[in-house]
Amino acid sequence: MVELKLRKILRKLKSKHPQTRYDALGELFQFKQQDDLQVQVEVLVDCVKVAASKFPERVDHWDNPSYYLIDFVCDFPMPQIMEALMKHFDDLDIYAKERTIEFLLTTEDDKAFYFLQDKIIHLIQTEEFPLPIRALGSYPVLVKNILNATLDKIHTDYYKFMFYPLLSIINDSGLDQGYKKEFILPLLLEDYQAVKQEYLQFDPDYSTRFVYVSWKDSYFLIRNKMCLLIRLMNYYFSAEIAKELKDALSFRDPIIKTDALLVCISKSLPYDDQILLECATHIESAEMLYWNFLEHNWEHLYPVHEEVQLLLARTRFFHTIADSPNEDGTVNYPEDIEIVDHLDTENIHGRLVRYYLIRFKVQNTEYAGWAGGYSLEAEDAQGTIWDETYSDYVEFDSVSIEEHKQKFLERRGQYFDAHENHVFYESSPKLGSGVWLTLGLLLPITIKTAYTVFESPLKFIFTIVALAIGWSLNEARRNKKKKVLIIGDQLVVQHGSKQQSIELQEIEKIEYDRKNVFVYNKKLELAFKFPLKWVHYFLFQQQMNENVAHFKNRPFIQA
């Protein structure tokens, strides 16, 4: 039983022996890897309580039971978990607090948001806390309230480059463009000029190969800071900022140059057409510029008019390979990327797409790869892609072009088969709390009656307990025959030998009330319904949304 094993793990995590704690974390990880794991909420609440308690002194970076317990329970979005996390928040490890904030944000609960606002402000004011910036990105109002109370911390080295992304969240959302401009502008300029001096040490020797093979993280950190500050210049602009943007157009880094160019165009500042063409065709920046131009409706300025998809395919392939380091940290740096052929087919979503066969070189050996699939449908932008770009590092000349295509199709066929039979979601009703309550009440009554009425009470007790266990096992067995599944592109409901199903593409909407979930087809006819208690609805809704995200006409799924 899962609950008994979890309670054993909780005891082992308190052990004074590091190996015992290590083994327990491994067992917890195995549970976390299980799809559709169901655990009684009482045990999950106990996990939160233990996570908030004291543990033996850590011996290594892995030795953080508080964090791993919270990360585990955050996979179960229930009101009781939300309440437990808020109740015990102050006693959690700092990284467990960060994970808790990420979880509470997803609830979008007003009570949770007020709680988070107070707690995050307090943490910023009292310690160096790792803000979950990406999770905060969807909540600009919350971010603004936090910065209103803590903006003075932007002067500290620790928070400075955490606060600039928060400023981007407020500005990019349109909530308050130019937020606190009089205060931020001089700081932004000062910090940019400081980071620029670090960048200028690299600029004379800049090459894409150096960046990915030699400089790596030491350079990426500087590049990311430069780009972050340049993008903010769109909202914090002045004559002095304009001079900095003009200078940035002469930098050799195409990513930094492209960001500066985008702000220049937005602010109607002059730029050289040759710089625009460089940014639009460079292997690092081509796709970035393309999508930014589409987002801003600047297509009329886009300088590439032929073979746009081929240009974007080379860029996508470069980043797929170069941005995926090996386990030892080395990079298979791709050079001489050449599009040799293409293959048009339908993807797994039934959309007509094109895949490009790539010849490329890594350390003087030529390999084959694929970039795509790019949409061939007229209403889609040329760069629209359902990304399946990859390389298996098969030497290009080891087989013919036609054999490369055949192997690609065979690989896709295996993927299609796996997708069609893959169970994305599965749920069955569990034994209700009423069953356990009945058994809990039955046992003491049985014992009392047995010793009062019978001469051989133990035999009677064992008989009643056996019947009760048999009854509960029979209920559990019956429940296993009641299932809701998302298999491949189908929603399936099983009830004993009966089965109902519908293609996800044929679903128009899914709604629920206090008792049932209702599934309607494209004609708004009820396809079928099933009891609400058969699913954990939040998880079901989450998986459904994920599986239909690529549809042109997505079904309505009640939240």
Report cis status (omega within 30 of 0) of the bond before 440.
no
Of 187-191, 199-203, 396-400, 492-496, the range with the lowest mean pLDDT is 492-496
Q: What is the mean pLDDT of residues 275-281?
A: 98
Residue 157 to residue 431: CA distance in whole angstroms? 54
Q: Which two tokens stand for residue 48?
A: 């939160």
What is the pLDDT of the chain when averaged over all its residues?
91
Q: Would the pLDDT of 431 be above 70?
A: no
Helix axes 2-13, 65-73, angle to 10 degrees: 160
Q: Give buried/exposed letters for 319-340 (b at 16+ CB in 10 A, else e).
A: bbbbeeeeeeeebbbbeebebe
- Please report, rounded to a whole number, the percentage of residues in the chain having pLDDT higher than 70: 91
pLDDT confidence of residue 453: 61
Tally the C-alpha atoms within 13 A of residue 408's C-alpha that lie toward its C-beta.
Answer: 29
Distance CA 139, CA 106 (A): 10
pTM for this entry: 0.81
Instruction: Using alpha carbons, list the distances in angstroms from residue 304 to 83, 251, 298, 382, 420.
Output: 55, 22, 13, 12, 39
Highest mean pLDDT among 81-85, 347-351, 534-538: 81-85
What are 371's two structure tokens? 């970039």
| Residue-level length of the chain | 559
pLDDT exceeds cutoff 50 at 522: yes
Beta partners for 265?
A: none
* Cα(38)–Cα(479) distance, integer angstroms: 14
Q: Can you give the C-alpha Rg of the chain in angstroms?
A: 29
Burial class (CB in 10 A: 0-12, 13-18, 19+), 265: middle
For residues 273 and 301, the answer to whether their CB atoms sit within 8 Å is no
| pLDDT of res. 528 | 94
Asked if residue 244 has pLDDT above 60, the reply is yes
- Averaged over 21-30, what is the pLDDT? 96
